[in-house]
Amino acid sequence: MSRESVHIYILQRFASVRVFAQNGKLAPHKPLLLLYALSRLKNEKAVRITFNEAEVAVNPLLQTYGPFNTKTTVAYPYNRLANDKSKVWWVEDHKRDASGNLYITEARDKHLQAGFLDDILKAFEQSPKLIDLVAINILERNFPPSLHADILEAVELFLGQGELESIERQKRDPKFRNIILAAYYEQCAICHYDLKMNGMSVALEAAHIKMHAAGGPDMVTNGLALCSTHHKLFDLGAVTLDGQLNIRVSERVVGDWGRRLTDEFHGKPIAMPRQDSMSPEREFTEWHNDQIFKGVVAE
């Protein structure tokens, strides 16, 4: 089998990892654990990681990048990935409860080990670049692009030069950005930022309300024009929109800038688009409230 064929085969196996995202419901537990394991393999040649290490590193990421008040810990993917149809993960023998879950105390005491299957490790050893390719494809399928660099930094996975740009992204309408920016008068819907240079908008982006990786369409009613700062805060769940299209700021936002964000924008209406028919659809804002926002939106 050629190197290119091996790459395609391995990428397909990782692409088949079940993330339980029916109806757009987020489940980033397996992707985050896989990214952490890829980082350990690339940086330290660690073919096995202990449950204790994964628990310390990945649980905080689940709180940041997972749905609000998620109760699932790294124990779930650490164990369940070994039974996934993708066949990419191995876990040391251990006791399970009636539901098939591991006993966390035992996993800690035993320093239970897990990692990629041997044929996956062999493919990575023969072609180290494949680690980067797998990582980018995991990010692309599970997280909005505005968060990719932050997640990679959080797991300390640093890609080869140009790798992030070399992966073919999921198909998006190339006109989406222009349509969204034009609809919102080329200004941020939250803070009205509208800086231009040589006639071009700078640091102003078209944000999906229901993210593209979860099936959000490239429609004007699923988009917002946001400055790069508020785009990232929106994708992280620090801010959202309620049913009246007023801005809601999460109570988890703290610090001086958090107070400014709350004082200046909480409860205020967004800058509306040119036409009512372009306004965000409730279906998409409710998805963002339920799956992304780190708080509760009271109607």
The whole-number pLDDT of residue 111 equals: 97
Shared-domain flag, residues 155 and 41:
yes
- Residue 245 DSSP label: S
Does residue 154 sit within a domain? yes
Does residue 268 sit within a domain? yes
How many structural domains compose the chain?
Answer: 2
Shared-domain flag, residues 212 and 109:
no
Question: For residue 241, which of 224, 256, 260 has the smallest C-alpha distance?
Answer: 224
The whole-number pLDDT of residue 299 equals: 59
Shared-domain flag, residues 151 and 243:
no
Shared-domain flag, residues 79 and 184:
no
Residue 196 CB partners (closer than 8 Å, separation 6+): 186, 202
Give the structural domain span for 186. Answer: 176-291
Shared-domain flag, residues 181 and 245:
yes
Residue finishing a domain among 146, 166, 186: 166
Dmax over CA atoms of the chain, in Å, equals 64
**Residue-wise pLDDT tens digits, 93-103:** 999 988 888 99
Residue finishing a domain among 106, 141, 166: 166
Shared-domain flag, residues 74 and 194:
no
Q: What Cα–Cα distance (Å) separates residue 105 from each residue in 8, 80, 101, 232, 267?
A: 39, 17, 12, 36, 44
Does residue 67 sit within a domain? yes
Question: For residue 181, which of 199, 159, 198 has the smallest C-alpha distance?
Answer: 199
Taking the C-alpha atoms of residue 129 and residue 131, their distance in angstroms, rounded to an integer, is: 5
CB atoms within 10 A of CB 69: 9
Residue finishing a domain among 138, 166, 194: 166
Shared-domain flag, residues 26 and 120:
yes
Shared-domain flag, residues 180 and 216:
yes
Does residue 298 sit within a domain? no
| Contact indicator for 123, 130 with CB cutoff of 8 Å | yes
The whole-number pLDDT of residue 19 equals: 82
The whole-number pLDDT of residue 215 equals: 87
- The H or E element containing residue 197 is strand 196-197
Does residue 215 sit within a domain? yes
The whole-number pLDDT of residue 168 equals: 46
The whole-number pLDDT of residue 163 equals: 52
Taking the C-alpha atoms of residue 182 and residue 88, their distance in angstroms, rounded to an integer, is: 44
Shared-domain flag, residues 111 and 231:
no
**Residue-wise pLDDT tens digits, 182-232:** 999 999 999 999 999 999 999 999 999 999 888 899 999 999 999 999 999
Taking the mean position of all CA atoms in its chain, how far away is CA 287?
A: 15
pTM of the shown model? 0.86
What residue ranges of the chain have pLDDT lower than 50? Answer: 166-169
